[in-house]
Structure 1
Amino acid sequence: MSAGAAAGPYRAGFACLVGRPNAGKSTLTNALVGDKVAITSSKPQTTRHTIRGIVSRPGRQLVLVDTPGLHKPRTLLGQRLNDLVRETLLDVDVVGFCLPADQRIGPGDTYIAKDLAELQRVRRTPVVAIATKSDAVDKQRLAEHLIAIDQLGDWAAIVPCSAVAGDQVDDVLSVLGEQLPESPAPLYPEDVLTDEPTETMIAELVREAALEGVRDELPHSLAVVVEEMAPRADRPADAPMVDVRVHVFVERESQKAIIIGRGGSRLREVGTSARQGIERVLGQRVYLDLHVKVAKDWQRDPKQLQRLGF
């Protein structure tokens, strides 16, 4: 539908979803966009980049920026992820603060709320509190959670939702959209869902597949880099194929063994799962060549962090 299909002024701008790790930010981003633009996992701190999902509706265009979870950093990587979130907050028109209903308000939420209060004071950025994962609790517990959120800060609105069940996702979109500035036109073409580079999306899909079923200490040690991407020369025009070579980095030899698995069994599973997602992104067949490498203590090494894109 065209931008002028809705009554009232056209609004377009940027919204940032923030919250502590595993607050449901990436799942909500995907639900709002209506397609997968951010990887999700039950492991905390899955998101490491700012992912833009673009939602175009009559009279509105909301550019959603999904960010890493704010947390008390233990490594240089953790500090850089926190810095990335804070830099992003300075450039958006509205903030969605995600507070999962299946967890009590804790020190991490209070820590973020203080940051957001300062942002509201200095830049007048409106903050919408979003009670995510509302399907995971009963009505009584949800009511208690909403009261606790209200007492935590001064919010433009408080909206409960479940991205998984699809409950009140449109309400979140509407409330965030109301806070956007007026705009003469959309910021992006209306058929675009993300501006994420293809190589970044491929690397994230490989990392998502590698995260499934691994031990708690391993996710933070995983980094993925697309080394090469090229169309295969000998393919017919009606059946193209892309060769993609990817390096998966871990910090220790023991972690490498976990990713590869006995006889390479786990790495094959990772490759199969990731390839399916990559083929959906590229719209053609893919040959995925995965290699696991050790980059010792890369989370704490400035040079290695830079080489791995952080």
Structure 2
Amino acid sequence: MADQPEKRGQAPKKTPAALRGQAPKKTPAAPRGQAPKKAPAAPRGQATKKAPAAQHAQVPKKAADERHLTAGERNELRRQERRAARRAAEQGAEQGGRSRGGSGAGRASTASGTPNAPRRSGSDGKPTGKAGLPTSSQGRGAASADSSPRTGKGVSPKKHRHKAASAAKRDDGVYRAGFACFVGRPNAGKSTLTNAIVGQKIAITSNKPQTTRHVIRGILHRPDAQLVLVDTPGLHRPRTLLGERLNDLVREVWSETDVIGVCFPADEPIGRGDRFISSEISELKAKVIAVVTKVDLVDPATLAQRLLDVSELYDFAEIVPVSAVSGHQVETLTDVMVKYLPESPQLYPDDVLTDEPEQVLIAELIREAALEGVRDELPHSIAVMVEEMLVEGNLTRIYADLYVERDSQKSIVIGTRGARLKEVGSRARTEIENLIGRRVYLDLHVRVAKEWQRDPKQLRKLGF
């Protein structure tokens, strides 16, 4: 009997207590006593400095497959990336002191947060594609990709021209970085102007209104500043659910940017849409400038009258007439926008031209090719989704679907015996190869999604 209690006394103290101690009390307690002092203490001291980088590095995992996200979800993801980039850059500046290009810590953490699909240029000036992503292929019925290799054009010389010009104009030791966006009614020249400033085509363009459907960011690097340009859809009176969501996108961008450029085409009189936009921006905190576009299409007298009309709409900080096609005053507009950016370390690494996923850019290039030559309501009814991308040696295979709303539209897009679809595939393939710097095979299929612009499920599937 004496032995029995003795064993019971050992059980609670040794066996259960030991087992329990392994979970919350003994086993962790002993290592924890050592960990804070030796192993974790040192890492924790370092972790507080590197936490933004580690935290930011998780963003690309979420965004690895952004084609399944809605536009609102993509915007929220971008906002998180921007906040993390700013925090990381500010912490780097505090630790190492602010330099003209931002601190090394700030650049490192930002780089870890923007590898989702940045367009980068290598040391030889040629663009490097994102590993594992396929490039374009020709559509069904289109001729197969030629066997001769095609290389990308790399960074446009305009980018380097901006660097040289800014170096000569400003060297006051103040580095500025921030976000700016162009807004305006459809077909006001916003995307063309964005491409001209960045120095490389990152946004598709056409003479069809409402060509832009996604928020595309292009990054301009200068010795004194980093300007992140946000190209937005045209603000318009919505007739579909898609139109409502595009307008919501524009308003979300307004609240996130430091500088807003309102675009007014010089070859068209001021209209109700221009007045509506001017009234919408009246309560914004961002600095607002007016940009009179397409000045190469009008005579001096017409331009003078248009500048006067714009000045009466709103108390703009500045009014700048430009021509993205001829390059007239594009550099001046860039300097004006940089002037109103906040002082800040750089937000993106030097070799990043856009933070958009390659699949999104490729889908937009296919849609741009499909818009050529179509009329009436068809341009608004076309949507594109890249279903799969495969890399095989020096060849990238891209499989994409074009969506329309009716069977009659499907026949128009395909054309007689597939002739038009073949032309779309050939034109898109060339642009995609220039974008990713690899030979491309593009396979296109046309599908019908009835009334997709009004169907929430279809809009979500297509990324809106």
- The bucket for the TM-score relative to the shorter chain is over 0.9
1:187 Cα deviation after fit: 0.7
Conserved 8 A contact 1:128-1:157? yes
Cα separation, 2, equivalents of 1:216 and 1:283: 35
Is residue 175 from structure 1 mapped to residue 336 from structure 2 by the alignment?
A: yes
Shift in Å at residue 231 of structure 1? 1.1
Aligned partner of 1:196 in structure 2 is: 356
Counterpart of 2:395 in structure 1: which amino acid? M
Select the residue among 249, 252, 256 that pairs with 2:403: 249
Counterpart AA for 1:245: Y
Deviation at 1:37, TM superposition (A): 0.5
For 1:53 and 1:252, the matched residues in 2 are separated by 34
Query: Which amino acid in 2 is paired with 1:173?
Result: T
Q: Distance in 1 between matches of 2:192 and 2:458?
A: 30
Partner residue in 2 for 1:222: 382
Aligned to 2:305: 144
Match of 1:293 in 2: 447
- Deviates most, 188-197 or 158-167: 188-197
Cα deviation, residue 191, structure 1? 2.2
**Distance across 2 between alignment mates of 1:284 and 1:58:** 30
Instruction: Give 3-state SS (helix, strand or coil) of 1:37's partner.
Output: coil
- Map 1:16-165 to 2 at 5 A: 16-119=181-284, 124-165=285-326
For residue 307 of structure 1, what is the amino acid of its counterpart? K
Offset of residue 8 of structure 1: 3.4
Post-superposition shift, 1:278? Answer: 1.0
Q: How big is the shift at 1:147?
A: 0.5
Unpaired segments ≥5 residues, structure 2: 1-99, 103-166
What is the rounded CA distance, in whole Å, between the counterparts of 2:292 and 2:451 in structure 1?
A: 36
Name the aligned partner's letter for residue 200 of structure 1. Answer: V
Q: Percent identity?
A: 63
Task: Tell me the distance in 2 between the aligned counterparts of 1:106 and 1:88.
Answer: 23
Deviations 1:39-68 (A, max 9, x none): 000000000001001011121110000000
How many aligned positions are there?
298
Deviation at 1:245, TM superposition (A): 0.2
Q: Which residue of structure 1 lines up, in the alignment, with residue 101 of structure 2?
A: 3
What amino acid maps onto 2:418 in structure 1?
A: G
Q: Which has the higher helix share?
A: 2
Partner of 2:432: 278
Tell me by how many angstroms 1:279 deviates: 1.1
SS at match of 2:426: helix
Higher strand fraction (1 or 2): 1
- Structure 1 moving runs of 4+ over 4 Å: none
Query: Secondary structure at the residue paired with 2:194?
Result: helix
Q: Distance in 2 between matches of 1:222 and 1:20?
A: 20
Q: Aligned-residue CA RMSD in angstroms?
A: 1.0
Distance 1:217 1:165 in 2: 31
Do the aligned partners of 1:3 and 1:57 also contact (CA within 8 Å) in 2?
A: no
2:421 paired residue number:
267
Q: Could you say which residue in structure 2 is the equivalent of 1:305?
A: 459
Structure 1 Cα separation of the partners of residues 280 and 376 of structure 2: 28
Structure with bigger RCO (C-alpha 8 Å, 6+ apart): 2
Alignment equivalent of 2:368, drawn from 186, 203, 208: 208
Alpha-carbon distance in structure 2 between the residues aligned to 1:216 and 1:32: 31
Measure the CA separation in 2 of the matches of 1:59 and 1:150: 30
1:13 matched to 2:189? The reply is: no
SS where residue 99 of structure 1 aligns?
A: strand
Deviations for 1:58-114, whole angstroms, at most 9, x for unmatched residues?
211100000000000000000000000000100000100000000000000000000
Q: Is the 8 A contact 1:10 1:60 kept in 2?
A: yes
d(CA) in 1 for partners of 2:223, 2:268: 35
- Give the structure with higher Rg (CA): 2
**2:93 corresponds to:** none
| 3-state SS, counterpart of residue 3 of structure 1 | coil
The answer to whether the Cα contact below 8 Å between 1:50 and 1:68 also exists between their aligned partners in 2 is yes
Which has the larger displacement, 186-195 or 271-280? 186-195
Please give the TM-score of this superposition, normalised by the length of structure 2.
0.63
Q: Distance in 2 between matches of 1:32 and 1:191?
A: 16
CA shift at 1:168, angstroms?
A: 0.2
- Conserved 8 A contact 1:209-1:270: yes
| Partners of 1:215 and 1:23 in 2: CA distance | 19
3-state SS of 1:69 partner:
coil
